[in-house]
Structure 1
Amino acid sequence: MTVVVFVGPTLPAQEVTAQLNAAILPPVQQGDVYRAAKDQPHAIGIIDGFFEGVPSVWHKEILWAMEQGIPVFGSASMGALRAAELADFGMIGVGGIFEDFLSGVLQDDDEVAVLHSPAELGFQPLSTPMVSIRATVKQAQAQGILPSESVATILEHAKSRHYRHRIWQNIGKELSDLPGIAAFLDWLPDGQIDAKADDARAMLALMADCLSQGTLPPSPVTRTEPTLVWKQLRNRIDTNEARNHAVIDELRLDPELYAELRNRAVLSVMAQEEAAEQDRQPDREDLILQMTDHRAKAELSHKTHLMEWLAANDLNLVEYEDILADAARIDATVAARLTQLDGPLLAELKRTGKYIDLRERAAAKEKAAIVNGQISGADRLRMVVWYFETRLDREVPDNLDSYATSLGLSGRAELGALIEAEYLFCHRSACADVPKSKVTSARHEGSIDEHT
């Protein structure tokens, strides 16, 4: 790991990686800088961070990172705040927002706070930070779009609103009678200034220059006081990491399961990289589908059951959403390649020694050449129920079309044809690979005419 950058709503990940070869991490929160510093990166850049909902990044963990000789840069948002507060200790602040916090022109955290979408939707900003509102109206005034009195009114109005409600469209409606506001709103789409993004780009450019020229500034040696709360934070993180390593070691003792989960993990990494490159993330509907499927399989029908399951698996709701988003990305990656998989699947069957049995089974099914007349809808339903509940020992999927497409089929009609052929083959040819009890059980629920 060369460089770590914590970023969220201020800049998309692909813009960061286009400017700097860095590992992208989500907005920083308590403990994240300590975790990152333990891997000894060449530098750490902080752009975005959480202000509420979870504990914010501690000053002490940034100081500890610098004590390890790791330069820490900050700009734009949480990075600018912490850099202003720790400038005397060697944290490197970049940009006008940092300078304004350092000089005292800006003092309130809400100047850089924004409402944004969750991680699975790419941390998209849903409101406008106050620092960008200030920069934008100042630019509009300089270009003669807004008179100074209107500028003051807009700034006072925006500052009085909670940061979640600072949205240009709403501000325009609420101040519709203000002199110059109509021309300003027309100018806004092309003229507005994203102060946080500009500062973040400046920080990335400085980091890239320092890394390429080998001129990263040395971090001052500042002794981090080993206070009780600092020891407790480090112990909690270290204990969790040690526990996780121990769990993985236990997994390694089951090589077949390890290989299965390892391949799934590799697919997860590839799907995440592809989603970032294409700026494509799961939407809310994707997450709901994943959650519905997972809760059904895990028998978590009630919220209390879900919360108990999360606690038992050392998860919180944010981490659970990350898992759902990961599963959705994997499904999307697989779905995009289903038409390309026949060749690789055949090759894998041959490599694992499973090809011959399936080839002979397919030939036997074709030789049986079962020709059917009209089959009623009720009989088709019985076949579907037999296939899933008896043949596979699982419930019938809620969405047969989605199930079919996950297997590379066009939809439920093509799946139904496969199930029908399988049912008739097993019932009339007594297929050797299906236990007799599973072949005959459907007849007890209502026999299908064998002469149909």
Structure 2
Amino acid sequence: MSGPLYIFTGPTLSAEEGRAELDAIFLPPAAQGDVYRATLERPVAIGIIDGYFERVPSVWHKEILWAMSEGIHVFGCASMGALRAAELAAFGMEGVGSIFESFQSGELEDDDEVAVAHGSAEDGYRLLSEAMVNIRATLAAAESLGEVGAKTRAALERVAKELFYMERAWPTVLTRAAREGLPARELEALRAWLPTGRVDQKRRDALRMLRTLRTRLAEGLAPKQVRYHFEHTDAWEEVRRRASRLPLGGDEGDEVVPEALLDELRLRGSFTGAHRAALARALAVEQASRLGRTADEVELQRTAEVFRVERGLFSAEDFERWRQTQRVENLERFLEDESQVRWVETLFATDALRHLPDHLRATGKYGALLERARNKERVLAARGLERPMLADAGMTEAELWRWFFEQQLGRPVPANLEQYARDSGFTDVDALRRAVLRERLAFPPGT
């Protein structure tokens, strides 16, 4: 049997380490749809070491079942791979290593046993926490060498298990253990032993799986045979359709937002607004796909030109600087989605306005905004200023802009008022000027 061999890995084992063991294509941790996309390439086998857990949908059992029904061997170990292998062993997925064996036997049950916090692909998936399975293996080794006793080992396991997986780290475990009054002598002995004695069971299992695959391939791996009939359900077709939109081995940065970036949004009070805007973007792209709309080369070029003008990126150098600053690795994909979003915005503009009042009600802003708008209408109508002009305000246009931006908004007058107007939802700068005039005349300074 010939074909490529795909391995999904990340924080457990680097691609460089993996290539030293096995000639394969190493991909980022598996998320939902990745095994489906890999199967489309007709590999001889797929190995799952690492996979996403929380913010990104996890690799789905059904895509693994489909891969095996297509004659592809699927192996799992160490982390997400061990979990899925234990769950699907009865259907033919092959697990490797002691972590898989512990899940299969029921000794381990919780997903958090293998979950870790880690950095992005750019950061080499740098580990930010310790896996519970590694803590257990390390403590077992420490006990066998006499560094800690059985009671202390069991207590340390309990302390570590009680921590949220993102908080599990040896300094934290040892500090909490000391607070609980565990024997200081044993804790200090363990602290001194850890730098050379720590056991990385996940890495050991990952290497064991790669070596197992190497042996099996050398012996000759016939197409996978399964005893079940794969059901093409509606849910499966929906996941398959969504997965088809993304490339295999895509840049993690395009799909996963680092926790550190989310924290920056949260600390600035911007998370909810950004999340809702992202949801609207996702739904717009999804709707365009459902309606069969595609963006050809001409449309992508038009979208790029409009995008550049809107943001003042007039030269090729400005646009390239923006692309690098914003870490846009796949510009074509970005422009395709941007084109779809703009098309759906136009298509559903009336529907969006119809839902705007309910959105404002949900955010608690509708009543106050409506009352202010009605007051403004009454005041202007009483003064005969429904369509005011600059002369009515006794100001020059420059003075009007300075009053609005500097005194009302506390910011400098934008260099590009036309762009500001469009970004703010006005049709053009004339519409912005009329609105600012009405604001000035309805609520002059001192009122």
Normalised to the residue count of structure 1, the TM-score between the two structures is: 0.55
Give yes or no for the alignment of 1:195 onto 2:195. no
Contact 1:71–1:216 (CA under 8 A) maintained in structure 2: no
Change (3 A) 1:143 1:229: same
Change (3 A) 1:291 1:169: farther
CA distance, structure 1, for counterparts of residue 28 and residue 340 of structure 2: 20
Unaligned runs of 5+ in 2: 248-288, 302-320, 329-333, 342-447
User: Cα offset for 1:121?
Assistant: 0.8
Task: Count matched residues.
Answer: 271
Equivalent in the alignment of 2:225 = 219
Contact 1:66–1:221 (CA under 8 A) maintained in structure 2: no
- Summarize deviations over 1:162-218 as a string: whole Å, max 9, x none: 000110012122223522000101000111100111111110000011112214573
Contact 2:159–2:176 (CA under 8 A) maintained in structure 1: no
Equivalent in the alignment of 1:257 = none
Normalised to the residue count of structure 2, the TM-score between the two structures is: 0.56
Change (3 A) 1:310 1:199: same
Equivalent position to 1:53, from 31, 52, 55: 55
Change (3 A) 1:162 1:136: same
SS at match of 1:236: helix
The residue type paired with residue 190 of structure 1 is T
CA distance, structure 2, for counterparts of residue 30 and residue 56 of structure 1: 5
Give yes or no for the alignment of 1:312 onto 2:316. no
- Summarize deviations over 1:300-329 as a string: whole Å, max 9, x none: xxxxxxxx98952679xxxxxxxxxxxxxx
Change (3 A) 1:125 1:172: same
Equivalent in the alignment of 1:293 = 325
What does 1:51-450 align with in structure 2 at a 5 Å threshold?
51-176=53-178, 177-179=181-183, 180-215=186-221, 218-238=224-244, 250=297, 293-294=325-326, 312=338
CA distance, structure 1, for counterparts of residue 223 and residue 43 of structure 2: 14
Equivalent position to 1:34, from 33, 36, 40: 36
Unaligned runs of 5+ in 1: 255-288, 297-307, 316-452
SS at match of 1:120: coil
Equivalent in the alignment of 2:10 = 8
CA distance, structure 2, for counterparts of residue 290 and residue 113 of structure 1: 35
Contact 2:72–2:223 (CA under 8 A) maintained in structure 1: no
Contact 1:210–1:216 (CA under 8 A) maintained in structure 2: no
SS at match of 1:73: strand
CA distance, structure 1, for counterparts of residue 12 and residue 327 of structure 2: 34
User: Cα offset for 1:238?
Assistant: 3.3
SS at match of 1:118: coil
CA distance, structure 2, for counterparts of residue 240 and residue 126 of structure 1: 28
CA distance, structure 2, for counterparts of residue 209 and residue 248 of structure 1: 46
Contact 1:95–1:202 (CA under 8 A) maintained in structure 2: yes
The residue type paired with residue 312 of structure 1 is E
- Summarize deviations over 1:426-452 as a string: whole Å, max 9, x none: xxxxxxxxxxxxxxxxxxxxxxxxxxx
SS at match of 1:188: helix
User: Cα offset for 1:148?
Assistant: 1.1
Between the aligned residues of both structures, percent identity stands at: 47
The residue type paired with residue 24 of structure 1 is F
CA distance, structure 2, for counterparts of residue 135 and residue 194 of structure 1: 8
RMSD over equivalenced CA pairs, Å: 3.3
Contact 1:6–1:26 (CA under 8 A) maintained in structure 2: yes
